Structure 1
Amino acid sequence: MTRATLSPPLGRLLTTSLSNRRLHLILLPTEKCNFRCTYCYEDFAVGRMPASVVESVKRLIDRRLDELRSLDVSWFGGEPLLALPVVEEVSAHIARRAAARPDLSCTAEMTTNGYTLDAATAERLASLGVGRYQISLDGPQEMHDRSRVRADGKGSFARIWKNLLDIRESAVQVNVTLRIHLTAANLVSMPDFLGEIRETFLRDSRFSVRLKPVEHLGGPNDQHIGIVPEEDRSRVLAELTALVSTDESGDPKGFGSLPSQAEVCYASLPDSLVIRADGSVGKCTVALTDPANTIGRLQPDGTLSIDNTRLRPWLRGWFTQDREAVVCPYQGMPRHTQPPLLQITSR
């Protein structure tokens, strides 16, 4: 079988990522969560980011900011809003520093379960530069509350839906992607649910939809989660896309489909780093418990200590011209020791 190789545009993306002009930080202000979703792969072993690591994150940004043309921050967890003061402190620091750099492209987004994202919180974070959110829904309330379960065993749909409606009724300038999870069990309810999503939210240009089949990602309940069979996914996605996509008149707006398989994973980009709540540095938010994911540590002064032998496997697709290793470097990750590929200088 012929291996798919990289196209010239992807080669140009690598060149951009290897420069010191762009930095993508995925920050985990806490790795605790108020949900216990049935398909979750996280172990919640690490708690809230301590003040010492928060200071180190700010110093890292200070060290890098003058040379940057683009700073992109993604808040992840756990549930990042459980550590809202950390998000606010770092975001406010970035906003203050970026104010003196009108030429700097600075964006911030958050993956949140939406349970505590009311309109007032969204407004506060928007003032600090957090402008995009991804919030997951698993279908109508009956289906959603079976899988996106709170830590106390209760359902979460009603509160999330209310928050979304409050954001819709507010004037807050944010973009909300509704990530609709697809499983074998909830497919039958999806046509009606997506119709409701379309009429309730997609007439507002701030809202969009992303359809995402649930995967087996190593969680303790993997064997009990019925995923959409691989051979059926293209058909299922095409049929469901038609229910929420923009019509010829342009109303409603805002459908975002499943990314193509040619999409580059952030974990394969040299300028993208995960800063965990304990200050360790990784590449992937799915492989949090895999030792191969820990490539270094953020130091108290804001410098990065990176082990190049651990970094090399994440970047291998660019140098072997293997498209699959760029789309998902974690799949097929070589486990033997590699010699250093790049000399990463701590700054």
Structure 2
Amino acid sequence: MSLFDREMVASFRGDRLHLILFPTEQCNFRCAYCYEDFAIGRMRSEVVEGVKNLIDRRRGDLTHLQISWFGGEPMLARSVVEEVASHVIEVQRRTPGLGYDSDMTTNGYLLDHAAAERLAGLGIRRFQVSLDGPAQHHDHTRVRADGQGTFDRIWRNLSSIREGSADVRVLLRVHLTPGNLAVMPAFLTRLRDAFLDDPRFRVFLKRVVRLGGANDASMEVLDAEDERIAALEEIVRAVGPGESLFEPEEVCYAARANSLMVRADGRLGKCTVGLSEPANTVGRLLPDGSLEVDNPKFRQWLRGWELRDSELTACPYEAFTRQGPKLLQLTERPGSQAVAGVLAGDARD
């Protein structure tokens, strides 16, 4: 079986479920390249109950549950995170053979060692925190909602985790732009020396790209093939034999049938980037934990598997942002109406 076919089989496994949860869509930052509008607030109580009931409904069918916390800034609704995570821990205790892991994408402003240790106790042990370079660059693009800088506090929080013993893994996502590239060798050396001798920390070098934010028109971006990026990768790798440089998966979560996003208002989606794309609302989570799924919309996110197109399985959102043959409608196949059954056996069309 080819690697493509193995990934396809994994993406349609009914005994695995990946939920991306938005405990709030508000944020305490206003990053220059952000694409979110912060129109939705804290996750409604009926949605929280729906998430817990969905997990209860599915627990007997699952061998593995993964929960990813996103936002907005998820730490602004930490009580929602802890309520759901505590429920999952109890469900796992009562369900022999159920594996569980959880991660969080956070700006790091509220994630100190004490918070990381508490969340680790609830199974949330992987965190992704973004940095835009040293303070003079970071504080220009990753600012608080009141315009104040954020670098110093994030660095202190990361250092407190480094000095503590919390059982966590921290992915330091370093954004690359034409404006900060010149200072990156020195910054990555500092980052490497401060954190990368600890195997709990890794670095992800990520180009800032245009994702539909208000500043897209004026934003300069690096070319994906810029040879200077490879030189920066070598700085990170120079720490030793460990896997200090993170390489993203070749298949996007949005292309996987067993991955689903639950927004704070209960809408279901596939992609955490295309939040305003109408095709990215594929249904709704009901308070009893059942799903109303628009199967034709849902199947559009899986078209890469049918077309055997690795570009679309790497980023299915591209199908909605460009013109050309990738936008051809999928042909109907036997059983295609039941694709939502991968998510829940009682999903409603």
TM-score (norm 2): 0.92
Of 236, 239, 250, which aligns to 2:231? Answer: 239
Q: Which residue in the other structure is 1:9 paired with? A: 3
Deviations 1:246-280, CA, capped at 9 Å, x for gaps = 45x53xx44224437xx001100000000000000
> Tell me, what secondary structure is at the counterpart of 1:73?
strand
Correspondences of 1:202-241 after superposition (within 5 Å): 202-232=196-226, 235-241=227-233
Change (3 A) 1:339 1:309: farther
Per the TM alignment, residue 335 of structure 1 is displaced from its structure 2 partner at its CA by 6.6
Cα contact 2:303–2:330 (8 A) shared by 1 = no
Alignment partners' CA distance in 2, 1:50 and 1:272: 21
Alignment partners' CA distance in 2, 1:328 and 1:300: 31
Of 19, 32, 51, which aligns to 1:57? Answer: 51
Correspondences of 1:22-171 after superposition (within 5 Å): 22-171=16-165
Change (3 A) 1:49 1:284: same
Per the TM alignment, residue 194 of structure 1 is displaced from its structure 2 partner at its CA by 0.3
In structure 2, stretches of 5+ residues that fail to align are 321-325
**2:301 corresponds to 1:307:** no
Cα contact 2:236–2:245 (8 A) shared by 1 = no
**2:316 corresponds to 1:319:** no
Root-mean-square deviation over aligned CA pairs: 1.7
Alignment partners' CA distance in 2, 1:277 and 1:319: 31
Q: Which residue in the other structure is 2:244 paired with? A: 255
Change (3 A) 1:231 1:244: closer
Correspondences of 1:308-347 after superposition (within 5 Å): 308-333=295-320, 341-343=336-338, 344-345=340-341, 346=344, 347=346
Alignment partners' CA distance in 2, 1:146 and 1:258: 27
Alignment partners' CA distance in 1, 2:11 and 2:205: 28
> Tell me, what secondary structure is at the counterpart of 1:56?
helix
Per the TM alignment, residue 223 of structure 1 is displaced from its structure 2 partner at its CA by 1.9
Cα contact 1:174–1:206 (8 A) shared by 2 = yes
TM-score (norm 1): 0.92
Q: Which residue in the other structure is 1:4 paired with? A: none
Deviates more, 1:323-332 or 1:136-145: 323-332
Alignment partners' CA distance in 2, 1:180 and 1:82: 22
Cα contact 2:252–2:315 (8 A) shared by 1 = yes
Per the TM alignment, residue 157 of structure 1 is displaced from its structure 2 partner at its CA by 0.3
Q: Which residue in the other structure is 2:278 paired with? A: 291
Q: Which residue in the other structure is 1:3 paired with? A: none
Cα contact 2:202–2:246 (8 A) shared by 1 = no
Amino acid at match of 2:199: S
Deviations 1:284-320, CA, capped at 9 Å, x for gaps = 0000011110000001110111111111210001011
Amino acid at match of 2:278: P
Of 280, 284, 295, which aligns to 2:267? Answer: 280
Cα contact 1:38–1:221 (8 A) shared by 2 = yes
Cα contact 2:127–2:171 (8 A) shared by 1 = yes
Cα contact 2:20–2:67 (8 A) shared by 1 = yes
Say how many residue pairs are matched.
Answer: 334
